[in-house]
Amino acid sequence: MLEQLPTFDLAIIHCGEVLTLSGASECPKRRAELADVGLIRDGVIGISGEKIAWVGSETSYRQLGRAKREIDAGGKVVMPGLVDSHTHAVFAGSREGEWEEKMRGASYLEILKKGGGILRTVDATREASPEDLLNLAKETLKKMLSYGTTTVEIKSGYGLDLKNELKILNVIQRLKDETPLDVVATFLGAHAIPKEYLNNSDSYIDLVIGMLPEAKDHAQFCDVFCEEGAFSASQTRRVLEQAVKLGFQVKLHAGEFSDQGAVRLAAEFAAVSVDHLDVIHECEIPLLIESGAVGVLLPGVSHFLRMKEPPPVRALIEVGVPVALASDFNPGSCPSFSMQEMIHLAVRNFNLSASEAISAATINAAHGLGMASSVGSLEVGKQADLLLLDIDHYEQLPYYFGMNHVDKVIKNGKIVYS
């Protein structure tokens, strides 16, 4: 005799396709595993409280299941909430004029050297009150949620002094408490050399190291922008040595415009993720494997800054780097936070298949935040974070580009957007 299932609080019925992304909560998806989205046709998801209680076929549910409430997905696609593991979402101002200059040929680093770029946003962010910054960021996160992002990492880095870095980290803390999203905080004091230290970046590194103990109360990760015009590998190492001693986990901005050897540091400091990788020499790829880090690709940056070459995505996948996708949402290199757009761009420009891109934007992205035991897939016991999409097949997600396919967002078992 088949046993009746417990009564669920909520069941999502009549899902034409459920993308479970199952089986990769322990280890991220690598190589051919990336192409497996754990598809169940004609599926149902049972939710009890905030958690997923059951995933199975419509036929089994009809025989054995019941729920206090049902939502009819109308034969459409249901998938896990998107995980954006790399953003700079707390800032003031915008930089559209500068982007036009870039499109006419000015380089990112040239603009930075003239005191524009990150430093322009630093000025605006320093001037903004904590309340103003919070309200701006809340608006951003509300829109992110409506585009299907249910977990987001946010970096500090537009303060560049203790007071303003803590102001940003406090805003991130309040976003955790006051929005439905899961918010992960990263301290990126070493994001740019502030104008007070332009010819003295080593002293700024001393200052960043001094900020670490207080930043630790607000942030899980420490990141450094290891780049020409920002910080060298040896300066990056100095920050990370102290950060690791204080208990931070490590992320790195590596190879956005130039290769500074940051991948070696990822192995040295057991980085959880290494992000960008637009410029990575072949000899460094084994080091990336050795580090165990998730390789976070940012196709929005490559697109928005009209970069000449895509990163060596296929080579990374073939040797076994677990790749993830993120938006890098920020006012300079990617003013979009649509993870649906990132999936489109990854297929269009980085040669991923739709299924690989979806794995990279869900379960592998969750690994990039050390959160794969609770988010990133639809499996029993995990948070009920899921999206009802207005498409018939998951391959339509990147295909119908430039639009929002989200019909409903469920976060921790509750509808938070419809």
Footprint on this chain of ligand NIG (rule: CB under 6 A):
88, 117-118, 121, 225, 253, 256, 301, 328, 330-333
The footprint of Fe ion on this chain (CB under 5 A) covers a number of residues equal to 1
Q: How far is the CB of 158 from ligand NIG (least distance, A)?
A: 7
Q: Name residues whose C-beta falls within 8 Å of residue 299's C-beta, 6 or more positions apart in sequence.
A: 310, 325, 342, 345, 346, 349, 350
Cα gap 209→189, rounded to integer Å: 9
Residue type at position 79? M
Given ligand NIG, Fe ion, none, residue 301, with its beta carbon under 5 to 8 Å by kind, binds ligand NIG
Nearer to ligand NIG, 22 or 330 (CB): 330
Helix (H, G, I), strand (E, B) or coil at 54: strand
Of all residues in the shown chain, the one whose CB is closest to ligand NIG is 332
Cβ pair 323, 301 in contact under 8 A: no
The CA-CA-CA angle for residues 14, 18, 23, to 5°, reads: 145
Residue among 259 and 328 whose Cβ is closer to ligand NIG: 328
How far is the C-alpha of 195 from the C-alpha of 192, rounded, in Å?
A: 9
- Give the shortest CB-71-to-ligand NIG separation in angstroms: 37
Contacts of 326 (CB under 8 A, 6+ apart): 84, 85, 86, 87, 153, 275, 296, 297, 298, 339, 342, 365, 368
Tokens of 14: 């009549």
Strands 10-19 and 70-72: parallel
Long-range contacts (CB closer than 8 Å, 24 or more residues apart) made by 111-114: 112/192, 112/229, 113/229
Cβ neighbours of residue 135 under 8 Å, at least 6 residues apart? Answer: none
Q: Residue 333 binds what, of ligand NIG, Fe ion, none (CB under 5 to 8 Å, by partner type)? A: ligand NIG
227 binds Fe ion (CB under 5 A): no
Q: Using CB distances below 5 to 8 A depending on partner kind, what does residue 235 bind out of Fe ion, ligand NIG, none?
A: none
Whole-number Å distance between alpha carbons of 274 and 263: 7
Which residue of this chain has its Cβ atom nearest to Fe ion in the complex?
Answer: 328
Which of ligand NIG, Fe ion, none lies near 17, with the C-beta cut-off 5 to 8 A by kind?
none
Q: Measured from the CB of residue 334, what is the shortest distance to Fe ion in angstroms?
A: 8
> Given the complex with ligand NIG, which of 141 and 301 has the nearer CB atom?
301
Applying CB under 5 A, among 328, 356, 385, 407 the residue interacting with Fe ion is 328
CB of 152 to ligand NIG, least distance (A): 15
Q: Identify which of residues 16 and 332 has a Cβ nearer to ligand NIG in the complex.
A: 332
22 binds, among ligand NIG, Fe ion, none (CB under 5 to 8 A by kind): none
Which of residues 12 and 361 has its CB atom nearest to Fe ion in the complex?
A: 361
* Residue (of 301, 403, 230, 340) closest to 87 by Cα position: 301
| CA–CA distance, 160 with 299 (Å, rounded to integer) | 27
User: Side chain identity at 403, as an amino acid letter?
Assistant: M
- Choose the binding region for Fe ion from 69-77, 109-117, 174-182, 320-328 (rule: CB under 5 A): 320-328
Give the whole-angstrom CA distance, residue 388 versus residue 383. Answer: 15
Q: Is 104 exposed, middle or buried (CB count within 10 Å of its CB: 0-12, 13-18, 19+)?
A: exposed
Nearer to Fe ion, 22 or 186 (CB): 186
Q: What's the distance, CA 349 to chain centroid?
A: 19
Cα separation, 348 vs 163, whole angstroms: 42
Least gap, CB of 336 to ligand NIG (angstroms): 13
The item of ligand NIG, Fe ion, none sharing an interface with residue 121, based on CB under 5 to 8 Å by kind, is ligand NIG
- Of the pair 81, 331, the CB lying nearest ligand NIG is at 331
Q: How far is the CB of 297 from Fe ion (least distance, A)?
A: 12
For residue 312, the minimal CB distance to ligand NIG (Å) is 19
Beta carbon nearer to ligand NIG, 54 or 225: 225
CB of 65 to Fe ion, least distance (A): 44
Least distance in Å: CB of 417 to ligand NIG?
27
Pick the piece of the chain touching Fe ion (CB under 5 A) from 64-72, 157-165, 192-200, 323-331.
323-331
Q: Which residues bind Fe ion (CB under 5 A)?
A: 328
